[in-house]
Amino acid sequence: MRNQPTILHLDMDAFYASAEQAAKPSLRGKAVVVGGIGPRGVVATASYEARRFGVRSAMPTAQARRLAPNAAYLVPRFGFYREISDRVMSMLRELSPLVEPLSLDEAFVDLEAGGTARNEASARAVGTRLRADIRAATGLTGSVGLAASKMVAKIASEEAKPNGLLLVRAGTERALLAPMAVRVLPGVGPATGDHLRRAGISTVGELAEAGEDELVRLLGKAHGAGLYAMALARDERPVVAERETKSVSVEDTYDVDIHDRTRVRLEVQRLAERCVRRLRDSGHSGRTVVLKVRRYDFSTLTRSETLRGPTDDPRVVREAAGRLLESVDTTGGVRLLGVGVSGLADYTQEDLFAQAAGEHPLEVPADPETDPGAEGPQDPASPARASSRWAAGHDVQHAVHGPGWVQGSGVGRVTVRFETPDSPPGRVRTFAVDDPDLTPSDPVPLVADGYLSPDGSGSSPGPAAHSPTSGPGEATSSP
């Protein structure tokens, strides 16, 4: 391990929910839940206001609604979040060539490799400046952990939340970890945590005191030895700039079980096309097509077929997924379907099955989930189809009233609140779902031309001044 805290971990605070609050003045300071809003949806992120009611990520949305019935429930806008993420990640890459993104909202940075920090003082200065720059550029807050290892830096950023910075001095790691619950360590899930608790081990300090031999006896050689090393704060993993993509997949959970076999086939085709679109966007092709089916009784079946070479042809993937579906009994209903491609490569073998001489490559059709104007399998003139264009939280533009966002839709009507990130809370109006003056639109940028100063003033009066939560600021761990 290093002898200086030059590994930085950035974790944006309640990222999706905070982005929605920044974009929607009427939601600032209020409970916001982002995720699937149907009966089988799952919470992606909850604002800190919603967390006070017990709402957490990965919780079923139905449970979240019982805990926080008055919260705003919004469908994710991943394109919007990705734009913000790209801006933040570019800022991190200015600090070092070694940036390891873990998701849209968190990443490790090796400050030493970039020459931007060599000791505690310079590392703290970089972390402080980074938080201010992110606030100015996006209007959002992030928490920073600084340590001599990746594991401790990540734990430190979690301890610093929200909107804080925690630097862990080299040599003080064990003192920081000792009183923490064992679940704080990577790889300790509910099952392992329960197993350790039954053995009288609840904290990281107790884990270290148990010794390697006892942990190997309880958990097996690899897991036990690994946990013992983590309890001693040993982590030699380097920051890796590029993480190899092993597979690309998409899946959908349905609000109502699908019983019709034809509908199941259509859904598999649609998922295959979405999967290929992601595959192409990542610059890969793949050899193995995987089908995932979760049935009405929660039993999950996985089938795969390995092709003769890598492909990114939607026709090939769709037909392979269709063949895999024929081997699956969907009697009784299907609640989830997924299609994936693994065995990735950076090149393509065309026309693997010589399907037809002279055939032209099949264009991937627009996806109703990512293109609000795309037509799905429903009748495009049906009220259900028209209503599905207006997802809660998504952006719209009205010919008279300007930009706004969807508060909700149903029974042929759509309710819109007209406001932008730098406006006061806006008025609400209701329209017919087929109103020709109302159209889906791109998001309004959180911060217009120029940067905000850390106190929210500057060339653009963006949402930084309205941040709902003030964090603990900066701290340093000590024995």
- Any idea which residues carry the catalytic annotation? 106
Burial 256-269 (b: 16+ CB within 10 A, else e): eebeeeeebeebbb
In angstroms, the CA 169 to CA 291 distance is 48
CA distances from 25 to 142, 200, 404 (A): 20, 49, 11
In angstroms, the CA 17 to CA 37 distance is 14
Contact criterion met (CB below 8 Å) for 116 and 8: no
In angstroms, the CA 206 to CA 174 distance is 12
In angstroms, the CA 175 to CA 204 distance is 10
In angstroms, the CA 390 to CA 164 distance is 36
Contact criterion met (CB below 8 Å) for 233 and 151: yes
Task: Tell me if residue 163 falls in helix, strand or coil.
Answer: coil
Q: Which amino acid appears at position 357 of this protein?
A: A
In angstroms, the CA 399 to CA 456 distance is 31
Annotate 396-441 with DSSP letters as a single string.
EEETTTEEEEEEEEETTEEEEEE--TTSPSPEEEEEETT-TTEEE-
